[in-house]
Copies of this chain bind each other. A is one copy, B any other.
Amino acid sequence: MKPSIPKGTRDFSPLEVARRNYIFDTIKTVFKKYGYQPIETPVMENLSTLTGKYGDEGDKLIFKILNSGDFFEPIQNSKDKIQNSKEALPLISEKALRYDLTVPFARYVVMHQNDIKLPFKRYQIQPVWRADRPQKGRYREFYQCDADVVGSKSLLNEAEFVLIYDEVFKKLGVPVTIKVNNRKLLFGICESAGVPDLFMPITIAIDKLDKVGLNGVQEELGKLEGLNADSITIISKFLSATDANKSIADCIKSLKDLFGNRSETATKGIAEMEEMLGYLEKLRPDASTTLSMTNLKLDITLARGLNYYTGTIFEVQADAGTLKSSIGGGGRYDNLTGMFGLKNLTGVGISFGADRIYDVVEELNLFPTNAIEGVKVMITNAETAAENTALTLLKTLREQGIASELFHELQPGAFGKQLKYANEKQIPFVVVIGSAELQENKFTLKNMETGEQQLLNIDELIKQLS
């Protein structure tokens, strides 16, 4: 009988909703300033829209929805006996819960291609679902906050995304490192090592560097067929070419030296990196006020697993708190909508991991104390003779737009109990109307934080509360 909720999901109390909205609103404000506009897509997508877009592992983590009506009939009446989940699935499910916001966005662009004007800049803040094993900081239902632009190949977009990250985390007060890289450089490394065909498996191996270290990556690379020791040595040299203590300019110089003329793709990647940095240099606010460039790092080992990235890639890491985890990421893709038949539409996008950001902001104690917009003033209801006056006051305060509440029932003499209620609800002000106040046609306004009391007439009261 005791009710519960599915593991990996959460209820949000008024305080938690207010705090999460504080994060969302901060992100939205910056997105809008840079010209991004909101869209929303359904929670349910056709299963065929999602299947095959996230790899085999991803497919397993998609929450599928049972067909409505007599869902078992197709299994019951199947000519061949249904033996397992794989055979059963297409017969009993054709819808699923959104797994991320990227694939629905690609689907949206293709479906609405005649209505949207390119370049199309959209943001989207909605929950997604994954049947991952729940653990600390990882949920089965969680929010993503994405901004993408499709139909523009300008590197100005990449530069603006760095500024968006910088501005959002500056507003939130969270120190971060923004790592950038370019998939073309990673491809260039494979070319330089003579193994361009192994780009995907090599990228996947490099992507694990954070977890397994350089030795681990080398071990992983050693397992790849067609990759000899010389190639691994060359790759390893590249992976050490950038480090967090070097300026971006120095990192680029090292990479240029290493690449020489060995890879046309790498040369293009370097040019893209330089163009983006050029825009940033012109667009970044004064060093004294925001992005100091010291927290922007070129990290050649940044790979990002998703295989649709083709150019610049981003990752943001919190530099404070115990989590130190990735709290954002994104990149340039040249053919995202190709999966739905619309070819050659380039785009670039970033994502904020709202739940992890919440945890970091909470740990660093950075939520504004006034995040919750509760009732501003409660009127006591403890004096029979004062009830009409109290109701009139309630009406007047609300007409002034002041969020107010009359204690919900008349309890003669129970001033103390009602003050306790206001205190527990963290209502900042209480109006007391006792017989003395009635006689003087005034109100006692009690500041619940300081305990200070003032005897005020109606005009003074409104002025104090507005």
**Are A409 and B152 within 8 A (Cβ)?**
yes
Known A68-B60, A88-B72: A282·B405 in contact at CB below 8 Å: no
Asked whether A38 and B11 contact (CB < 8 A) given A66-B93, A97-B65, the answer is no
A216 at interface by CB-CB < 8 Å: no
Q: Which residues from chain B contact A135 at a C-beta distance below 8 Å?
A: none
A283 at the interface (CB under 8 A from B): yes
Q: How would residues 1 to 34 of chain A score, 1 for a CB under 8 Å from any chain B CB and 0 otherwise? A: 1111110011111100110000000000000111
Give complex CA distance A61, B424 in Å. Answer: 41
Please state if B6 and A46 are interface contacts (CB–CB under 8 Å). Answer: yes
A44 touches B129 (CB 8 A): yes
Cα distance A66–B395 when bound, in Å? 51
Q: Which of A112-120, A202-210, A440-448 contacts B (4 or more CB under 8 A)?
A: A112-120
Stretch from A103-111, A226-234, A256-264, A449-457 contacting the other chain: A103-111
Query: What's the Cα separation between A182 and B11 when bound, in Å?
Result: 33
Expressed in whole angstroms, the Cα–Cα distance for A391 and B279 within the complex equals 8
| A interface size (C-beta, 8 A) | 105
- Determine which of B34, B46, B87, B115 lies in contact with A398 in the assembled complex, contact meaning CB atoms within 8 Å: B34
Contact B66 A11 (CB under 8 A): no
Give me 21 A-to-B residue pairs in the complex whose CB atoms sit less than 8 angstroms apart, sorted by A's number. Answer: A3-B107, A3-B110, A5-B111, A12-B39, A12-B41, A14-B122, A17-B37, A33-B398, A33-B402, A35-B375, A43-B97, A43-B141, A44-B141, A60-B69, A64-B65, A68-B131, A72-B85, A73-B85, A92-B92, A154-B409, A156-B406
Chain A residues with CB under 8 Å of chain B are: 1-6, 9-14, 17-18, 32-35, 37-46, 49, 60-61, 63-66, 68-73, 75-76, 82-85, 87-89, 92-95, 97, 107-108, 110-112, 115, 117, 119, 121-122, 127, 129, 131, 140-141, 149, 152-154, 156-157, 279, 282-285, 340-341, 372-375, 388, 391-392, 394-395, 398-399, 401-406, 408-409, 421, 424-425
